[in-house]
Structure 1
Amino acid sequence: MTSALPVLITGATGKQGGATARRLLTEGHPVRALVRDTDSPAARALAILGAELAVGDLDDPASLRVAAAGTRAVFLVPPADYSAEGWGEGTEARRGTAVIDAARATGVEQIVFTGVATMGAAQSWGQEGKRQIEATMAESGLRYTVLRPVRFMENYLLHGSPVDGIREGGEHAHLFPADRPLQMIAVDDIAAFATLAFADPDTWHARTLELAGEAITPVEAAATIGAAIGRPIHYREVTEEEADAIGPQLGNTWRLIRETGGWHADIPALRSLHPELTSLRDWLARGGTQRILDRIDATVPASRPR
């Protein structure tokens, strides 16, 4: 189903929001992108693709009502403040609730919310704020869909994070057991599921999906990336002591992964809904290889031979 009314995209200049805006535009759905700066490169890129830009801030409820007016649906991905001490869950919940309130006040019909996949107790993986948003959305009277993605394939591009990304020397360090399958998903696939929901709000109402597109061990993933980029990549499993030293949130998560076995998205069922679900090899072939090489080369000191 298409509509003359646009979908409002929060987080439009970020990973999930940007991918969803581009996917909707490609499939003929009008988009209104919520941005703080219309002159930012990401905002300008969306405008070139045909998105309408709306200036607003998730900490400014009045601006959210203005942005939501005249839209049919909202893609909700509120940013959360994160530090070694944990997630800023109260801030995240407040921002998400503000968007839901703005949607109700302006006659929006549908919200698609993207949170995080489950693997246990809410307080152990930054889930509490997201669960508060889900509960508020379910009580709002709006049609809604909940997407819960696992770790992004794009996280291989991170730089400066205490875990994840590929460091100088080809090391990929993370909390996950080296010998157990690790579920991951391409951000473009999150956008694909969101677009399916926006195209058929009735069928997708009150639906919750845990999202993953691949499940291979971190060691296998490192080997796959190494073969693609032509450089050795090795995985290092962070110890419990190292995780605790980074911060209690990561220490708790290290233990939770081993207690629960990690994420449990039903990948075959997801592929039946979206047959083009992306594998890690697919992601690498579709630009991930070059993006990893660019990231590695950008972080190697210029004075050091490559």
Structure 2
Amino acid sequence: MTSALPVLITGATGKQGGATAHRLLTEGHPVRALVRDPDSPAARALAAAGAQLAVGDFDDPASLRAATTGTRAVFLVPPADYSAKGWGEDTEARRGIDMIDAARATGVEQIVFSGVATMGPADSWGQDGKRQIEAALAASGLRYTVLRPVRFMENYLLQGSPVDGIRPDGEHRHLFPAGRPLQMIAVADIGAFATLAVAAPDTWHTRTLELAGEAITPVDAAATISAAAGRPVHYREVTEAEADAIGPQLGNTWRLIRETGGWQADIPALRALHPGLMSLRDWLARGGTARITDRIAVAGAPTRVG
């Protein structure tokens, strides 16, 4: 039976939080969405879908305590400040730990935390702050689940990034070896796993899952997208020197991928837990293709002068 108390969703107007909020609402779970601007289009859409809105900010601990009061669980994705040159890991960790402290203080029973998949030591791209949050969760006394997703399929939609996204000329540029399977996941499936954890907090307590739904070489992925979109898409593997020139953490990650073999989520085991887990073809067929072609068309449109 679904509890009458809502689940607080952080990052609710973003990818993972939005997917989790909509999945919970679809399955009948009450949702409270933490937002900074209740009048933003994304916040209004959540309210229209049935979510309560709680105005708050991760840099305002009092607002976190107010948001968690009267909730039974928290989906935690603290915002991170990052660029090619570095990741604000200390800030990310502080924000996550402040939310854990708020949850404990207000009687929340469960936290589902979404971090990042592992492929090596904690000093690789974006892991250290998330590991600090995981350690705080383990020591919190709360029921908790840790989800560690790999690269999002939605990253094909990025624009203006030095790596990832599909450029107007059809190039997909990234750090990953061209001929080695690359794991990826649809954001909607992160929401599906979070919902499974929220629905069975005792069963999912202390569980840590590396999340992926597909393992396909970047070259084959580009060919799959090209066939679905009806326009040429090709993959270019950036060199080590190019990665280092973009930023030291990207260069370190370029080497780490080759030293470790990359992410290694157990996709068959995940599909047994969530049979609807999407492949890249599934994601493309369910709207991914249209979103990619729309983004390429917008990015490649000529700039009007005068």
TM-score over 0.5 (shorter chain): yes
Could you say which residue in structure 1 is the equivalent of 2:66?
Answer: 66
Quote the offset at 1:84 in angstroms: 2.2
TM-superposition CA deviations, 1:217-263 (whole Å, max 9, x none): 00000000000010000000000000000000000000000000000
Question: Structure 1 stretches of 5 or more lacking a match?
Answer: none
Q: Does 1:17 align with 2:32?
A: no
| SS, match of residue 71 in structure 2 | coil
Could you say which residue in structure 2 is the equivalent of 1:147?
Answer: 147
Could you say which residue in structure 2 is the equivalent of 1:275?
Answer: 275
Give distance in 1, aligned partners of 2:295 and 2:263.
27
Could you say which residue in structure 2 is the equivalent of 1:6?
Answer: 6
**Runs of 4 or more consecutive aligned structure 1 residues displaced over 2 Å after TM superposition:** 301-304
Could you say which residue in structure 1 is the equivalent of 2:201?
Answer: 201
| SS, match of residue 18 in structure 1 | helix
Could you say which residue in structure 2 is the equivalent of 1:157?
Answer: 157
| SS, match of residue 203 in structure 2 | coil
Could you say which residue in structure 1 is the equivalent of 2:118?
Answer: 118
Could you say which residue in structure 2 is the equivalent of 1:77?
Answer: 77
Output the aligned Cα RMSD. 0.8
TM-superposition CA deviations, 1:41-99 (whole Å, max 9, x none): 00000000000000000000000000000000000001111022211000000000010
Give distance in 2, aligned partners of 1:303 and 1:102.
48
| SS, match of residue 74 in structure 1 | strand
Could you say which residue in structure 2 is the equivalent of 1:30?
Answer: 30
Could you say which residue in structure 2 is the equivalent of 1:168?
Answer: 168
Aligned pairs, number: 304
TM-superposition CA deviations, 1:141-163 (whole Å, max 9, x none): 00000000000000000000110
Q: Using structure 2 for the length normalisation, give the TM-score.
A: 0.98
Quote the offset at 1:124 in angstroms: 1.1
Quote the offset at 1:303 in angstroms: 5.7
Q: 1:71 to 1:301 in 2, by over 3 A?
A: same
Question: Structure 2 stretches of 5 or more lacking a match?
Answer: none
Give the letter aligned to residue 103 of structure 1: A
Give distance in 2, aligned partners of 1:282 and 1:237.
25
Give distance in 2, aligned partners of 1:162 and 1:141.
41
Give distance in 2, aligned partners of 1:41 and 1:77.
20
| SS, match of residue 223 in structure 1 | helix
Give the letter aligned to residue 3 of structure 1: S
Give distance in 2, aligned partners of 1:41 and 1:79.
19
Give distance in 2, aligned partners of 1:42 and 1:228.
28
Give distance in 1, aligned partners of 2:112 and 2:260.
27
Quote the offset at 1:301 in angstroms: 2.8
The sequence identity of aligned pairs, in percent, is 84
Q: Using structure 1 for the length normalisation, give the TM-score.
A: 0.98
CA contact (8 A) 2:168 2:297 kept: no
Quote the offset at 1:302 in angstroms: 2.9
| SS, match of residue 74 in structure 2 | strand
Give the letter aligned to residue 125 of structure 1: W
TM-superposition CA deviations, 1:17-41 (whole Å, max 9, x none): 0000000000000000000000000
| SS, match of residue 204 in structure 2 | coil
Give the letter aligned to residue 86 of structure 2: G
| SS, match of residue 208 in structure 2 | strand
| SS, match of residue 12 in structure 1 | coil
Deviates more, 1:239-248 or 1:76-85: 76-85
Could you say which residue in structure 2 is the equivalent of 1:53?
Answer: 53
TM-superposition CA deviations, 1:158-182 (whole Å, max 9, x none): 0001100001210000000000000
| SS, match of residue 293 in structure 2 | helix
Give distance in 1, aligned partners of 2:53 and 2:166.
34
